Amino acid sequence: MSLERLSAEAVNESSLEALEHRHRYEAVRRFCAGRRILDLCCGVGYGSAIVAAEARSVLGVDLSRDAIDEAERTFGHLDGVSFACGDAVEWLEDADRMRDVDVLLCFEGVEHIAEKERLLDALVAVAGSGTTVIFSVPNSRRYEEDNAFHLNNFDREAVDRWAARFATPAEIWEQWHAQGSYIGREPAPATPPAPLLAPVPAEARPHGWATHYLVLVNADTAEADESARMSWAVEPVNARWLESLRRANRELWRTNARLADTDMRPRGTYAAAAASVIDRWKSRALAAEKQVRATAHAAASYEEIRNRQAVKAALTTAKHIRRMRDRVGL
């Protein structure tokens, strides 16, 4: 299993990435009430802490010793919460360990495990014993994600195939990023946020385009709390990020045009002047590329899905400017 996780500090930030990670655990808390929970691929343990408020006990397991050490430091003091280092598939295949588990949670862990067929067989076996199994995967194949940490990629069709393997009918929940508008008075300090629940029409959720999928087996979802299915992050991050991307794109296009113009100037008489201009615009091209890379990285942590076309445009522009730099010998 490869390593990719949020730190305990990052998961508490007011960012879309942190929100979507927390939201998965918040949405399934009701299934954990009074039960013994195994939080597989728990990372630094923030999800174990969330469901611990309802659960009888929670055991978080992760392959990374560093992650488990951080989980124990941050959340090990909570009643009924413990952590252990171990391999996910081997843990699932250990009947003695799984005998004490009522609910298995595995959020954003499946795509990191190389032995996916062995993992699926283990999940099916655990569910076959009556244990509630809930896991999530990103819709990475649909969105053509290039993530070195992901050893498996999923889309809705792949999720449907996995769900069909369980003897008990599995329910599939979709997780979406929602864009919206908020109007209200400026809140007073320490004012708790008002509950928000907006209807989402079916046409706003086209089949196969959710950002993540949750698969629930042996879970009584008939009385699922709808309010738990929507969580909000009201932050001006999106506007700031888009403006940063627009500025980086404008600078790249300007630099591209100037480099192209300089490269087409005649040689000989203008050689010295051209060399000076080229050096100046080379520096600006490097600075512009650095800004695009930083912006693309920010996109991966915030608006990786909704603004994917804008990111691809920026990266395409970066490739173009690199070709122009090659022409002038950078």
89 or 258, higher pLDDT: 89
Q: In sequence order, which residues have a C-beta less than 8 Å from that of residue 52 and are 6 or more positions away? A: 37, 58, 75, 78, 79, 80, 81
Whether residue 205 contacts residue 211, with contact meaning beta carbons closer than 8 Å, is answered with no
State the DSSP H helix or E strand holding residue 103, giving kind and residue range, or none if neither: strand 103-107
- Mean pLDDT of the chain, nearest integer: 80
pLDDT at 168 over 70: yes
- What is the rounded distance in angstroms from the CA atom of residue 2 to the CA atom of residue 178? 29
Whole-angstrom distance between the N-terminal and C-terminal Cα of the chain?
39
Q: What is the pLDDT, as a whole number, of residue 2?
A: 38
185 or 198, higher pLDDT: 185
pLDDT tens for 277-320 read 666 666 766 776 677 676 666 665 555 555 555 556 566 666 65
pTM: 0.69
- What is the rounded distance in angstroms from the CA atom of residue 240 to the CA atom of residue 258? 27
Residue of 318, 159, 156, 160 whose CA lies nearest to 253? 318
pLDDT at 159 over 90: yes
- Residue 35 is classified by DSSP as S
The CA-atom distances, in angstroms, between 15 and each of 75, 84, 200, 273, 327 are 21, 29, 21, 48, 41
pLDDT at 10 over 90: no
pLDDT at 231 over 80: no
- The identity of residue 45, as a single letter, is G
Computed from CA positions of residues 61, 105, 30, 96, in that sequence, does the dihedral angle turn out positive or negative?
negative
